[in-house]
Structure 1
């Protein structure tokens, strides 16, 4: 039987124990929990396309690809998130089971209810991860990808991609036509994805 959500703030250890017994997923930020909403068909399809492309590319190597069922810990913010897709190549994450903490790439598929947070507060939190090299935001309603890359000087630079362009995941050495990420997604007229 699922445990009820605590009525007051609780620490990360209590959250991890409580979350392990919940039928739904909850993100955690400094003592507060937030229920995760369900995803649209387009959202789920794009996440699967991204994860599949990354998994096929990285298979057999030291990196692992995770989908939205694995938590990502941002210790600097006392936070646990469920990114749509992320990659970790860190030795320290190979011995973890409940959550990872050293990603090189994080991908979020936008939704109307989370878009502002994914671009603002969540991105600010992810930037505190010293291993993170790229943060990618994908719009499920049109061919539009915003890839933010951390450069050696610590600055984050935006590399946007639209129809007909390539998305370069330099952190893992993979470049894909943007249409590959949108395969089998019904977009607005004039935004149809190519189906290989």
Structure 2
């Protein structure tokens, strides 16, 4: 996340929705401030598309919906809005809103050098306030590495680190898949 290039004024949530719809890029809205979303790599885009396709195919007919980075997520109990790379909601309350969802059970962020610290730190602290969130998946775009933050039945967050040869298990949507399915054919080199 970075500050918007034109330093937009502090906005209300309603003003943010209108303002962002007039922009060429996406912006997140945190504590009344608008922040531009940094660009992504080819690997970032390909990984996101593969995961979205996997989730959509798995969830067909389930009543759950998968969103890409165009879909805003309202941080539960706040007026903050983010654009995660992928979100899945199975909550009927999200079927009545048109500007955002509030109750995703799964959020995925594909990491880049510019966003990794925020995605692991402040953003996760915001996301975990959501009682519906079960899985928060952080996916490397430069190596075969995926970290899963999973909320267990007692409400504790566990971190599971996956690497080459592992099978990812997302209890939020009852899906398991080999990690290689995400990375096949990608040129995994560190970002410049």
- 5 Å-filtered alignment, 1:59-74, equals 59-74=60-75
SS in 2 for 1:99: coil
Assess, with a 3 A threshold, how the Cα gap between structure 1 residues 171 and 7 changes in structure 2: closer, same or farther. Answer: closer
Residue 79 of structure 1 is matched in structure 2 by 80
Residue 41 of structure 1 is matched in structure 2 by 42
For 2:90 and 2:112, the matched residues in 1 are separated by 28
Q: Is 1:163 matched with 2:159?
A: no
Assess, with a 3 A threshold, how the Cα gap between structure 1 residues 127 and 178 changes in structure 2: closer, same or farther. Answer: same
Q: Give per-residue Cα distances to partners, 1:83-108, cap 9 Å, x unaligned.
A: 00110001011122211110000000
TM-score, normalising length: structure 1: 0.90
Shift of 1:153: 1.6
RMSD, aligned CA:
1.7
Given that residues 8 and 34 in structure 2 are in contact (C-alpha distance below 8 angstroms), is that contact kept between their aligned partners in structure 1?
A: no
Residue segments in structure 1 that go unaligned for 5+ positions in a row? 190-196
Shift of 1:78: 2.4
Assess, with a 3 A threshold, how the Cα gap between structure 1 residues 5 and 20 changes in structure 2: closer, same or farther. Answer: farther
Task: Work out the number of aligned pairs and report it.
Answer: 186
For 2:76 and 2:7, the matched residues in 1 are separated by 21
Residue segments in structure 2 that go unaligned for 5+ positions in a row? none
- Name the stretch that deviates more: 36-45 or 71-80: 71-80
Given that residues 76 and 103 in structure 2 are in contact (C-alpha distance below 8 angstroms), is that contact kept between their aligned partners in structure 1?
A: no
Shift of 1:7: 4.5
